Amino acid sequence: MSWNITLNDIDPAQLGKRAHDAYADSRRRHADDAEVLPAMDEQFDAALAAASSGMTRVVGEGRVNVTLSGHANPRHEPREGWANDYVSVHVASVVT
């Protein structure tokens, strides 16, 4: 299942809480496919860890836009007719 979290114009100190709140909303939309949820959770945790590892500091001071996204197959195994697994992390400074 594909998942996407977009947070615009946020204080980097709020990234963890805001991302978890948004992911919880996104995850509920996929609750009917419990087989894939563990793989999605792993991807989200890894993407958030990458974005939280200092990336918000290397794009300058101040507020940021953050997009965390991915596609997870059950157990991260290729599945015919499904997209390949991937994780994407995007962090950009906000122009004020």
- Beta-bridge partners for 5: 68
| Continuous H helices in 1-96 | 15-28, 37-52
8 A C-beta contact, residue 51 and residue 68: yes
Per the structure, how many domains does the chain have? Answer: 1
User: Which domain range does residue 10 map to?
Assistant: 2-93
86-93: strand order across its sheet:
2-10, 64-71, 86-93
8 A C-beta contact, residue 3 and residue 72: yes
CA dist 9 and 63 (Å) reads 5
Is pLDDT of 86 > 90? yes
What are the pLDDT digits (tens) for 1-12?
899 999 999 999
CA dist 33 and 37 (Å) reads 7
Choice among 13-22, 31-40, 67-76 with the minimum mean pLDDT:
31-40
What are the pLDDT digits (tens) for 29-49?
887 788 899 999 999 999 999
Please state the pTM of the whole predicted model: 0.89
